[in-house]
Amino acid sequence: CNFNCIYCEVDRNHCNYKNSQSILSLDILKQELESLLIAAQNGQLAKEEKFADCRDLTFHVKDIAFSGDGEPTLSSFFPRALEIAVQSKQKFNLTQTKVVLITNATCLHRLNTQNLLPYFFKNQGEIWAKLDAGTEDYYRKINQSKVPFGQILENLKQVAQDFPIYIQTMFLKLNGNVMPSEEILAYCERLKWIGAKENILGIQVYTIARHAFGINDGDTLAPLTKAELEAIGETINKQTGLSVECFF
């Protein structure tokens, strides 16, 4: 991953990513995906004990998502993996199943130059892109990335001109403090700058739900309350006119 978010739930001190490019087998990926789709369609998935409280949901494949412990678009295997997902959708006649890319938006310009985005969206693709700040300073503090903040904003603007996207934002308390009001307003201005209001399907705001491994020594993180998160959501809606969903 080219982000090192302070709220990241992945303990990278105990993970070896050096050889991650060489250990991925596209054949195994295809086999595992198709096995799961078969299990959903024939009812085998519903028999799994872990789905005991939601068996009815196991028969419907809502989406095939690219996410995980890192940034999906950094992988050289992503174009082929996307093709496998689309082919599997077609093979199993999953006409209502979306292909979701959960991304930090740092490499969206590469997908554009590779002409992957038209193919992605033609096959019910949906982008959920991260934007956790309104200023460069706050971005550096939260996401701790060397990628310029302006590059991310430009990528979002370029994609949103032609394709529909969701924006996902993490709000938290850092050392007991909620994101400052001036930062929230700057964030709203960024959303308006991205523009193409009709192509921003919505803003998904959420807070910490798991242990954070990315936190720096001496700092503390805490989740927002439901009321605090909803208040920020209302501000975003009033400032931008965009639809906002709060996940708590």
* pLDDT tens-digit map of 56-81: 999 999 999 999 788 999 999 999 99
Give the pLDDT band of residue 206 (cuts 50, 70, 90): very high
This prediction's pTM: 0.91
Nearest to 64 by CA among 42, 24, 91: 91
Candidates 145, 156, 146; CA nearest to 192 is 156
Q: Model confidence over 118-149: pLDDT tens digits?
A: 999 999 999 999 999 999 999 999 999 999 99
| pLDDT attached to residue 112 | 76
Q: What is the pLDDT of residue 16?
A: 60
Instruction: Say if CB 179 and CB 138 are below 8 A apart.
Output: yes
**Mean pLDDT computed over every residue of the chain:** 93
Rounded mean pLDDT of 108-112? 88
Given the DSSP bridges, would you call strands 63-66 and 172-174 parallel, antiparallel or unpaired?
unpaired
For residues 136 and 6, give the distance between their C-alpha atoms in angstroms, rounded to a whole number.
15
Helix (H) or strand (E) holding 48: none
Residue 20, burial from CB neighbour count under 10 angstroms (0-12, 13-18, 19+) = middle
Which domains, from first to last, does the chain contain?
A: 63-76+99-247 (3.20.20.70)
Lowest mean per-residue pLDDT among 27-36, 65-74, 108-117: 108-117
**pLDDT computed for residue 128 by the predictor:** 97
H or E element, residue 127? strand 125-130
Give the model's pLDDT for residue 61.
Answer: 95
pLDDT at 14 over 90: no
Distance (Å, whole) CA 161 – CA 139:
23
Backbone angles phi, psi at 169, to 5 degrees: -135, 130
Of residues 159, 133, 160, the one with CA closest to residue 7: 133
**Residue 174 host element (H or E):** strand 172-174
One-letter amino acid of 203: I
Q: What is the mean pLDDT of residues 38-51?
A: 93
For 85, the token pair is 């997902």
Q: Which residues contact 245 (CB under 8 A, 6 or more apart)?
A: 202, 203, 204, 205, 233
Closest CA to 200 of 167, 225, 228, 229: 167
Separation of alpha carbons 205 and 53, rounded Å: 26
Q: Is the pLDDT reported for residue 20 higher than 60?
A: no
CA-to-CA distance for 123 and 126, rounded, in angstroms? 9
